[in-house]
Every structure is written in C-alpha cells, then in structure tokens.
Amino acid sequence: MAQLSDDCFAFGGPLMTIEDAHALFGERLVAVVGTEDVPVLEADGRILAEDCVAPIDVPPFPNSAVDGYAVRFADLRASDATVLPVGAVVAAGASSEGVSAAGSATRIFTGAPMPAEADTVFMQEDVHVLPDGRVSLPLGLKRGANSRDAGEDAAKGSSIVPAGRRLRPQDLALATAVGLRTLKVRRTLRVGVFSTGNELVEPGAPLRPGAIYDSNRILLLALLRRMGVAARDLGVIRDDPAALAARLSAAAAEHDVILTSGGVSTGDEDHVKTAVETVGRLVFWRLGIKPGRPVAMGMIDGKPFLGLPGNPVAVYVTLVFVVRPLLARLAGEAYAPPRGFTVRAAFSYRKRAGRREFVRASLAQDADGTWEARKFQRDGAGMLSSLTDTDGLVELEEDRIEVVPGDIVRFHPHEALW
Ligand code: AMP
Ligand code: MG
C-alpha cells in the first residue's frame, strides 16, 4: 500500500473553495489501494484498475439488425422495385458460410450472420411476397441499411471501458460481450467512521436528559457503502481531547481514511482539530461551503482525516462534495463533480457571496410542464427531514447573492450524489 506523508500538504489557506480542495487532493494524494481480479459480476460498483481492452470484435461478424431479406445492393434496380427469388434461410445462431447472395434474396433474421456478399437488408414489413414465392423489394433503401458491421460496437484492440470508472451494469455487459470473465479492479478502500459528542447515545439505550440518538454515523455508513467503500463503524468518542487523540491515532493504523462528525466548530467543546494537531497535522479546517463550512482535513500517520461538522445536513453536503472526491482519489477512481441539470427556481433566496450553497429542494412541474425546484420550507442544517422530504440539492455558486423565481439553477438529485 502506498504510504502518504503527513507533510504532503505544505499549505492550507483559511477559506478554500470546493475546487481548491479537489485540486489539493489531486496534487497531493495518490491511489493507496492495490488491485485484484474479480469475476465480472462482482466488479459491479468497483473501480476499474486498468483500461478494459476488447480481445475480439463485437459483433464478431456482420449481421442483420432486423427480420427480413438480405441482398447485394448491386442487384437492386435503380429506378423501380426489384423482384428477386428467395434463396437460403439464415436464422440467428446459424452459419451463413457457403450461402450465395448473388441474384437472390436471403431470408434472414435479427442477429443472423450476413451472407458474405450481402450488404443490405429489407425489413420484412416493407417486402411484398408474390404468389410465386419471389419477393418484391421497394426502392429507397441505402447500401448497408439494416446490416451491422463486425466491430461496430467494440473494435478488437480498442479500449472499451476506461481505468478509473466506477463500474456500472452496462460496463459489465460490454466486458462480457467481448468475452471477458474477470476484471482487474481496485481493492476496496477502508474508511473508519466515528461520531463525537457527549450528547450521543445508541438507539435502544434510554434517552437521558440532554441526549440524542446518534444518527450521523448511520447516515455516513450507509452513504459510504453506496459509494463502494468498506465503511467501519468505530463508535462514539467523547468531547475529550485526549480520548479523541488516542482513538484517532489508533484508527489511522487500521484504515485508509478516518472520518468523524461533530466537534470541529469553534465552540469550547470542539476538540477535534486540537486532537488532530496532537497526533498529526491539520491541512485545512474551513471551506467556502454552506452548510458545512467547518470541515477539517488533516493527515494522521500518513492517512487522510476528515472532520465533518455535527449537523446532519452539513454531514450530508460535505460527504458528497468534499469527502467523496477525496475517497475517489485514494481509491483510484476518475472523479468528476456531479453535473446535475438546470431547472427553474420556484423560490426566492438570498445568500452571501464567496461561498457555495446547497439548498434542499423538490422538483415539480409548472403549468407548461417545465420542471421547477421548490425549496424546502425550513433552512435548519439540523433537520434530517429536509433530506428525507426532498428530491435533491440546488447548487448556488459563490458569486450569486440571490435567487428570484424563474432563475435558472443547477439541481442535483440525491441519488446522483453517491
Ligand atoms: P457540533 O458540530 O459538535 O457542535 O454539533 C452540531 C450539532 O449537530 C449539535 O446539535 C449536535 O448535537 C449535532 N450532532 C453532532 N453529532 C451528531 C450525531 N452523530 N448525530 C446527530 N446529531 C449530531
Ligand atoms: Mg459536538
């Protein structure tokens, strides 16, 4: 496993943008996980470690795209329908070897190999079968119509899926179509997840005065699982600098990344930053992002550490926009920020310049069918219901200071963020 030094980040300014943080990850971090060969189906959701190259052409042979009649284009009349006798019949799975297409139409079915000389296929719906069994082929087809070329889907020797791709079912299908049974993927990143806070108790335990159930850990563990990493539940750490330092340091020895939530603001009981500085070093502790401004990054024994804020919505936003690109870098995944799509805003909003804001919203169709984003009624970053009752997040750029109804805004469906 590649080892990173705690000094690989030589600087870290006070209020960086999300892109600054991504650039920093790109410059200073490398993939830390090795590779393994796994059966194609097991590669679903894993990161492809090297370009997948097609050992054969797909399709392997020219074949018909329709049920119909294959002919040589040269046998067709230029100014009228052509009448031809029907010769051989070729079905899918049969061979067309030895079949002559000269001066006749070959009855052919979808996926069946084209006879060597045939280049064009008439759909059966367009063909008139005469009482004597010959077929009348209408004018107007182009040479090559309804015929698929060998290698038109995947050419032998070409790269069909790029290294770094988080593999999707369609990638697995293409790899299988070229005959592969295993794929070389990255080993799974191990991420240790802590919650911090004296108020936190486990579900099932009685709720003593002042306590709340720890929901961030479940949120993080479930999101990380969907992101394809091995997330390990490391429990709760009390708001105590010594306990934090000890547990973070121990966790760094066994994981590729350490995540915490809570305790990174500037309150008297926020000790996470201090603890990180005791056992490692802090790289940054604020980003121009809302919710989530107090998000800390550090290095502990060569392992990246990310301290997320305590409020659940801030946890969500920083996990998908800050942690995910870092995990991608370490896991060898080619990361592209979520693109979302543009919709019309159906709300008014004011924000400060200089930070990227994410507003929870749902989509609805307006009177003429255009999709519009409707903002969740309340703003609190502590409200989990603002995540369960919405479709996604509206992204508002740093330089924007207000939104008025009708403005074009970028919308990210929740599911596209994982
Ligand atoms: P903090 O960043 O530690 O000041 O926490 C900010 C808010 O998030 C407080 O209301 C905390 O109680 C809450 N919070 C912190 N950690 C969790 C957690 N694991 N689950 C639910 N809420 C939390
Ligand atoms: Mg706290």
Q: How many residues does the chain have?
A: 418
Residue with tokens 């997040």: 393
Q: pLDDT at residue 13 above 50?
A: no
Expressed in angstroms, the distance from the first to the final Cα of the chain is 26
Q: What is the pTM of this model?
A: 0.92
Beta-bridge partners for 113: 63
Determine the Cα angle at 23 with ends 17 and 27, to 5°.
Answer: 150
To the nearest 10°, the Cα dihedral for 23, 402, 293, 343? -60
Q: Dihedral sign, CA of 195, 197, 198, 200?
A: negative
Q: pLDDT at residue 66 above 70?
A: yes
Number of other residues whose CB lies within 10 A of the CB of residue 204 = 6
Question: Residue 354 and residue 250: Cα distance in Å, rounded?
Answer: 37
Question: Residue 318 and residue 341: Cα distance in Å, rounded?
Answer: 20
Residues 321-340 pLDDT 10s: 999 999 999 999 999 999 99
Beta-bridge partners for 236: 195
Q: Which of 198, 223, 311 to mutate to test the pocket of ligand 1 (most atoms within 8 A of CB)?
A: 311
Mean pLDDT confidence for 393-408: 97
Percentage of the chain surpassing pLDDT 90? 94
Give residue 15's pLDDT: 74
Give residue 11's pLDDT: 46
Residues 269-291 pLDDT 10s: 899 999 999 999 999 999 999 99
List, in order, residues 6 or more apart from 131 with CB less than 8 Å away.
Answer: none
- Mapped onto helix, strand or coil, the DSSP state of residue 168 is coil
Question: Residue 132 and residue 386: Cα distance in Å, rounded?
Answer: 72
Q: Which domains does the chain have, with CATH numbers?
A: 18-33+188-331 (3.40.980.10), 37-57+157-186 (3.90.105.10), 63-148 (2.170.190.11), 341-417 (2.40.340.10)
Q: Which of 201, 207, 216 to mutate to test the pocket of ligand 1 (most atoms within 8 A of CB)?
A: 216
Mean pLDDT confidence for 19-29: 95
Number of other residues whose CB lies within 10 A of the CB of residue 61 = 15
Q: pLDDT at residue 12 above 50?
A: no
Q: pLDDT at residue 254 above 80?
A: yes
DSSP H or E segment with residue 20? helix 18-28
Residues 196-248 pLDDT 10s: 999 999 999 999 999 999 999 999 999 999 999 999 999 999 999 999 999 99
Number of other residues whose CB lies within 10 A of the CB of residue 213 = 15
Q: Ligand 1: does its nearest atom lie under 6 Å from the Cβ of 63?
A: no
Give residue 82's pLDDT: 98
Q: Which atom of ligand 1 is nearest to the CA of 239?
A: 3
- As given in the structure block, the two tokens for residue 147 are 């015929």
Residues 344-356 pLDDT 10s: 999 999 999 989 9
Give residue 266's pLDDT: 86
Give residue 9's pLDDT: 58
Residues 96-121 pLDDT 10s: 999 999 999 999 999 999 999 999 99
Q: Which atom of ligand 1 is nearest to the CA of 309?
A: 2
